[in-house]
Structure 1
Amino acid sequence: MTLTMAATFIVVLDTTIANVALPHMQAALSASPDTISWVLTSYILASAVALPLTGWLSARLGRRMLFTVAVAGFTISSALCGVANSLTTMVAARLIQGLCGAVLAPMSQAIMYDINPPEKHVQAMTLWGLVIMVGPILGPVVGGYLTDNFNWRWVFYINVPIGIVTAIGGWLLLSGGKQAGRRFDLTGFVLLATALCSMQLLLDRGVQLDWFDATEIWVELGICLMTSWMFIVHTVTTKDTVLPRALFADRNFVTACVSIFVLGGILMAGAALVAPMLQALLGYPVLLAGVLTAPRGVGTMAGMLLAGRLARIIDPRVPILTGMALLALSLWMMTGFDLQMDQRPIIVTGLIQGLGLGLVVLPMNLLALSTLSSALRTDAASLYNLMRSIGGSVAISLMTALIARNTQVSHSTLGGHLSQTRLPFLGQGIFEQLGFDGAAITQMMNSEVTRQAVMIAYLDDYYVMMWAAIAVMPLIFVMRRSRADLPDVVVDAH
């Protein structure tokens, strides 16, 4: 159990730990602001491509071999990231990291399920889910501390000792050989990988290229739509596919995938928005901004522990709806943020939002997989992870684009109130007459207008996420209760 949790922790930690170190990497690797983003993009792309392969690889190589190779590959690539002296080396190492890390998440889940007796499944998956949920939240805190007190390279070196111990332990302690797996669906895999890569490139590059004003974005959109349609047709008409058709016939699983797409977006976008807002608008240093996001992790831990206790007592849909309501409440409270607030609103909303997420994730995944056969569980866990990952990517890109657009709109609106009609002294040279630099004062006023406009844009994002959380709530009533099956399921809280 300790081995699988350690492997899972370093993987999920790496999804966010590198974010705060990007400015330092940019200088060390002589990269531009546009190209340094590939440090994050390459990891996400590789993860998206590798996730659908987990079920086939597990049957082909065996659990013991796949787990050990994946941990070893993740550890070696982490070391390569730490010693990288060029952007090319860094991106290549991050690609390997993403490939190996994506395989580890559902693999660790399956191992945790099998090494525990049926009566311990909910408790074991609760503990495992805590690592999955808290890891990304701790990432900015750990990354900020290592970057401020040591060097950005330690953001990657921290994985090496944990990875070495985990790889050795996995080889010595795990069991599980090759299984009779289905035929590898090369056509389906290529179509799915192409669709996911083009979509991820569209989302990442769209912000930089002003979206559909650039030909590249149209090309990526066309490739994404074309290959997605071809993949759907291929899946419907082919016997052995990379994602079994039986998954899409299960009402609980399909509903949960849609829900986790939205909730994963709120989870990742929320983490991606708050820390930069605290640094850029409220003037908090990197480490303190990360610490102020930690209450979200505390709330998540409390929510998951509570959900684990409630799983056998009440209808799982009750804590899910309660958690979504708390999530929507926290986002509504965040729409009241202002530039003069102290730390209290940040801490309170973080605790409430974390509690809501914790109440949702565990019972949601119990319901999602409780009606699936054991033969579909690894593929189901992989697809579930994939939907969460895609939801996060879409939400982050959408929220970033909305911030850029709404900042311009709000700046124009606020700036209209600073015209000579409303403030006649602006055109009378009164600043110069009083001995002040009129141009400097005007620039200061423009900077403050921009600051206010950016804050309004953040609040607009919180409104959008609040309504997204509310919109997904009715879907819970579509899911079947299936309480009798809950102790015998695989849970994926990632």
Structure 2
Amino acid sequence: MSKWLVTLTVMLPTIIEIIDMTVVNVSLAHIRGSLGGSFEESTWILTMYMVANAIIIPITGWLSRLFGRRNYLVISILMFTCSSFLCGVAWSIPALVVFRIFQGIGGGGLQPISQAILLETFPKEEHGTAMAVYGAGTIVGPIFGPMLGGWITDNWSWHWIFFINIPIGIISMAMALLFVKDPPWAKRQRITIDYPGLILVAVGVGSLQIMLDQGQLRDWFSSNLIKALAFVSIGALFGFVLKELKTKEPIIELRIFKDRSFSMGNLSMFSLFLALFGTIVLVPQYVQALMGYTAFLAGLVIGPGGLVTVLSLFLTGRLVGRMNPKVLMVTGILIVAYSSYMMSGLNLQADFWDIVWPRIVLGFGMGFIFIPTTILTLGSMSKEAMGMATSIFAFVRNIGGSIGGAFVATMLARRAQFHQARLVEGLTPFDLPYQMGMERLKGLLALRGLSEPSLSRGSEGLIYSELLRQASMLSFNDLFFLLTFLFLLCIPFMVAMRRVKEAKGVPLLH
């Protein structure tokens, strides 16, 4: 079977699933208006999808063994497609939340299955090309998802952000049945279902994801809900680890972490996505909240960097077999750290290209990191262990991104409060620049016809609004500067990884 037909078959549903993670964000206001509900209620549309996704991803390898990999791929696409239809016809926000849970369950396994199939379909010397294709597909979603969602919602209706998945899902299922074949080690196996382990991982991961998504909205540990979620998550995950290490047929084979490259690769990817998702959260907020960009223009700011990443991925795919992958990885980290440092110098007078160029630099550096890290992390895995390894790798990557997003959202609010308190110290009647600014604004407002009693209040309001913008801008600068160092923290983990030719195949242990 042509490897490119297999590639198209597994990447098509994967790209749609990744797009669905972000496409709903820009449509939330329309959904609230149509179905009726508060802002807090509507956030659960996003949260519960991510929760279901997070629970399924780490157990994808086990589910593939339970059902057979191709069977599980088809089941996942079918569930994702059917639940997309139900989301489109949802009659209330609670109904939509329930259908999004099923959509997340269906979509959760698509990323790790696709990666495992690609690594097995392409020979080892072409793994760089395979991961370039996979990386390009996973990058397209976050870039074009918000733009696509906004366009569909404005020109059709929010229902179509879900309905558009249906024909693609049907085509993907047909292609999977025709072109994907299970090798002997990926066929359905007789395994004992570890029900306690399954419950513990679902409760632990689900609680962790809800805590990360809702933490900033509920002021973290001042909320009893967040405290309870943290307690449940820690307890369930600790119990899960103890249970799985003693089980003959574990749901997640934790013993593969004995392989140094796999362990260091997961730490590298966790650290990388923690910092990377920080920039993904910050840039759209900066251009929309402070610079007045529309959602479409915000997408245009991010788009060029994504396209450069795709080109960089294919360049790296050709280089990775010809030179030490660690050199490429460290070079990439230095480039993305520099891009974050560039963004730490942005201000309220930045034009479009001042913002786009650091994103282009970031995109170029990302291409040098993703492929070598993936190949070194998974290169020592046996074919039997590959499904389990890609599931863990995807889970660690996503959790790193979730923690990074939650960390940045929290720190942004905290630093804005800090700078607001510092800046307001200079706004006193005894400060000469403040007095001059007040008189100038009073004169401008008087020309617009405001009465004398309103001039002082209006001038103070304008100054305070500008103070809030300046405080927010300084908090963005602080966060981009901090992310520079978080990127650099990846280097020790990357250097500690072994090259594939030095490593032995790690079997799936029982």
Equivalent in the alignment of 1:354? 363
Equivalent in the alignment of 1:402? 411
Specify the SS of the correspondent of 1:34: helix
Deviations 1:99-152 (A, max 9, x none): 111111122223323434454443233212210122222212222222233322
Equivalent in the alignment of 1:446? 464
Equivalent in the alignment of 1:106? 112
Equivalent in the alignment of 2:221? 212
> What CA distance in whole angstroms lies between the structure 2 residues aligned with 1:357 and 1:311?
14
CA contact (8 A) 1:56 1:184 kept: no
Q: 1:233 to 1:63 in 2, by over 3 A?
A: closer
> What CA distance in whole angstroms lies between the structure 2 residues aligned with 1:181 and 1:250?
27
CA contact (8 A) 1:279 1:286 kept: yes
Aligned-residue offset at 1:240: 2.4
Report the residue type matching 1:340 in the other structure: Q
Equivalent in the alignment of 1:146? 152
Q: 1:437 to 1:127 in 2, by over 3 A?
A: same
Aligned-residue offset at 1:426: 9.0
Aligned-residue offset at 1:425: 7.1
Q: 1:418 to 1:120 in 2, by over 3 A?
A: same
Deviations 1:212-268 (A, max 9, x none): 112222111111221222122223333322211331101111111111112122333
Q: 1:298 to 1:337 in 2, by over 3 A?
A: same
Alpha-carbon RMSD across the aligned residues, in angstroms, is 2.3
> What CA distance in whole angstroms lies between the structure 1 residues aligned with 2:415 and 2:140?
31
Equivalent in the alignment of 2:293? 284
- The range that moved more, 279-288 or 133-142, is 133-142
Equivalent in the alignment of 2:316? 307
Q: Which runs of structure 2 are paired with 1:308-327 in the superposition (5 Å)?
A: 308-327=317-336
Aligned-residue offset at 1:382: 0.4
Report the residue type matching 2:232 in the other structure: I
Equivalent in the alignment of 2:79? 73
Q: 1:450 to 1:237 in 2, by over 3 A?
A: same
- The range that moved more, 268-277 or 355-364, is 268-277
Report the residue type matching 2:271 in the other structure: V
> What CA distance in whole angstroms lies between the structure 1 residues aligned with 2:256 and 2:146?
35
Specify the SS of the correspondent of 2:158: coil
Q: Equivalent pairs: percent with the same residue?
A: 33
TM-score by length of 2: 0.90
Equivalent in the alignment of 2:265? 256
- The range that moved more, 12-21 or 38-47, is 12-21
Specify the SS of the correspondent of 1:337: coil
Q: 1:118 to 1:402 in 2, by over 3 A?
A: closer
- 2:45 corresponds, among 31, 34, 39, to 39
- 1:127 corresponds, among 120, 129, 133, to 133
Moved over 6 A (4+): 425-430
> What CA distance in whole angstroms lies between the structure 2 residues aligned with 1:121 and 1:462?
33
CA contact (8 A) 1:299 1:351 kept: yes
Report the residue type matching 2:270 in the other structure: F
Q: 1:471 to 1:125 in 2, by over 3 A?
A: closer
- 2:474 corresponds, among 432, 452, 456, to 456
Structure 1 unaligned blocks of 5 or more:
490-494
- The range that moved more, 216-225 or 178-187, is 178-187
Deviations 1:356-415 (A, max 9, x none): 111100110000011222221111100111011111111111111111111111111111
Q: 1:430 to 1:388 in 2, by over 3 A?
A: closer
CA contact (8 A) 2:244 2:250 kept: yes
Equivalent in the alignment of 1:53? 59
Q: 1:28 to 1:470 in 2, by over 3 A?
A: same
Specify the SS of the correspondent of 1:458: helix
> What CA distance in whole angstroms lies between the structure 1 residues aligned with 2:318 and 2:438?
67
Q: 1:150 to 1:272 in 2, by over 3 A?
A: farther
Equivalent in the alignment of 1:239? 248
Specify the SS of the correspondent of 1:14: helix
CA contact (8 A) 2:438 2:459 kept: no
Equivalent in the alignment of 2:162? 156
Deviations 1:276-304 (A, max 9, x none): 22111111111111111101211211221
> What CA distance in whole angstroms lies between the structure 2 residues aligned with 1:56 and 1:314?
35
Equivalent in the alignment of 1:137? 143
Deviations 1:172-212 (A, max 9, x none): 33333843254222222221221111111222222122111
CA contact (8 A) 1:256 1:365 kept: yes
Equivalent in the alignment of 2:491? 473
